[in-house]
Amino acid sequence: MVEIIPLDTPSLGDRSYIVHDGEVAIVVDPQRDYDRVLAVTGPRGLRITHVFETHIHNDYVTGGYRLARTVGAAYVLNADDTVGFDRVPARDGDIFETGRLRVRALHTPGHTFTHLSYALEADGQHLAIFTGGSLLYGSTGRPDLLGTQHADTLARHQHSSARRIATELPPEAEVYPTHGFGSFCSATQADGLSSTVGAEAKTNPVLTLDQEAYVRVLLAGLDAYPAYYAHMAPANAAGPAEVDLTPPEQADPEELRRRIHAGEWVIDLRERTAFAAGHLGGTLNIGLDGNFVTYLGWLIPWGMAVTLLGESAEQVAEAQRDLARIGIDRPEAAAVGTPEAWSGGMPLAILPTANFTALREAMRTDPAPTVLDVRRAAERQASHLLGSLHVPLHELSSRLAEVPTDRQVWVHCAAGYRAAIAASMLAREGVSVVLVDDDYDRVSDTGLPVLVAA
């Protein structure tokens, strides 16, 4: 019996896969912390013979290169990918056989020019296809990560690739994408956790729209993606270093203050309510309860020293593992416990919080506060508060001068998570700020003036 085991990475919105026949195994698109793969294959006594990459990834550092070297497996990449290490080159139509497993490479450009998908057979049955960033659940991988100048061409390739998959695979074949579970590599938010080629043929726009309509809709819907993506493909093409997840050095209050004063990023990992109630002044709140690694990687000046503050060693370890997945290898330091312990007895900073109803009342004061909307452009276009200032969170560091400092700033997003990050960034700059910790969907019930797209 052949078993396919997904390994989810919710923090990045991706999946890796282990496929085995009870004796040998293959791995598709493993994340950098490949110890998770070995934790599955080891107890089962499985021998990993092949590690397949669908493409040079843009949203995470691969674990494939190191995993293959560690276990002595063949590391399979497109022959046309330029890389700085030895690999097993794959081309369209190449067959790889191990145990009862038979894998056929299909060139499916669209997410990248050299993207491959891998069709799985066993005992003469077409079981599945691993589609990477090609055919996703209800969507496709975005075509603009190699530059907007290639987006139209790659979108057309994506349309053709999806149709090739739908033509060459039987309807009952399972579809196993790498992206689409929250990843910004997905052109739109993908739907569901499982699907088949036949199901996608009936519902996925790439398979229900003609090419011109698909390309028009796809390109019009693209929004910003994380800045750290620029560093992932070069790291993956060079051959990533081994990951080091040993605990960072513990920092005392004096060292924490020194790092804050030096302008380093000291990250409070607690959820925003706890942060608002009391925190070490000058720290940034990027909570582990949200898209921690995506936003830290998006916002941080690349190469900036990072220190982690967590309530437990487990919390710090989780954050450290997430950071390693995007190439931030070693936190400079960490501290575990309470903000009182981190401050060394110094007074804690407080972040005022409110809801949209309170914002309505504040807008009646003189002078009224500045309302800062840190959502992305597409969210803003759909609906926004009249008179609010729009600076997307990922642009805030470079546009701080646009935020008025002569009055209080009330900052909101869609649900509070991104607003908390923005509020902590502004507070660090000395801005008087209030976090609107509320769901934007409630705005229409408050009487605040809203402009809604037609």
Judge whether 243 lies within some domain.
no
Reported as a pLDDT band with limits 50, 70 and 90, residue 192 is confident
Residue 248 lies in a domain: no
Domain membership flag for residue 244: no
Q: CATH code at 84?
A: 3.60.15.10
Percentage above 90 pLDDT, the chain:
95
What confidence tier does 37 reach under pLDDT thresholds 50, 70, 90?
Answer: very high
Residues 403 and 422 placed together within one structural domain of the fold: yes
Residue 182 has a pLDDT of 86
Asked if residue 208 and residue 61 are part of one domain, the reply reads yes
Give the CA distances from residue 96 to residues 158, 163, 252, in Å, rounded to whole numbers and listed in that order. Answer: 24, 23, 54
- Is 198 a member of any domain? yes
Identify the band that residue 193 occupies on the pLDDT scale cut at 50, 70 and 90.
Answer: confident
Residue 187 sits in the same domain as residue 97 = yes
Burial class (CB in 10 A: 0-12, 13-18, 19+), 203: middle
Whether residue 50 sits in one domain with residue 168: yes
**Domain housing 142:** 3-238
**For residue range 52-104, what is the model confidence (pLDDT) as tens digits?**
999 999 999 999 999 999 999 999 999 999 999 999 999 999 999 999 999 99
Rounded Cα distance between 205 and 220, Å, is 14
Cα separation of the two ends of the chain: 53
**What is the pLDDT confidence band of residue 186, given thresholds at 50, 70 and 90?**
confident
Q: Is residue 316 domain-shared with residue 427, that is, in the same domain? A: no
Query: What pLDDT score was predicted for residue 171?
Result: 98
Inform me whether the pLDDT recorded for 120 exceeds 70. yes
Structural domain count of the chain: 3
Q: Measured between alpha carbons, how far is 139 from 191 in angstroms, rounded to an integer?
A: 8
CB 326 within 8 A of CB 259: no
In a domain, 268, yes or no: yes
Residue where a domain terminates, one of 343, 371, 393: 343
What is the model's pLDDT at position 185? 87
CATH of residue 325 = 3.40.250.10
Task: Evaluate whether residue 178 is within a structural domain.
Answer: yes
| Pair (91, 211) in one structural domain | yes
Check pLDDT > 90 for residue 188. Answer: no
Separation of alpha carbons 101 and 18, rounded Å: 12
Contact status, residue 326 vs residue 234, Cβ threshold 8 Å: no
* Helix (H/G/I), strand (E/B), else coil: 4: strand
Q: Are residues 429 and 313 in the same domain?
A: no
Mean pLDDT of 210-239: 96
If asked whether residues 312 and 428 sit together in one domain, one would say no
Do 156 and 200 have their domain in common? yes
- Give yes or no: residues 329 and 447 share one domain: no
pTM of the model: 0.94
pLDDT over 80 (residue 191): no
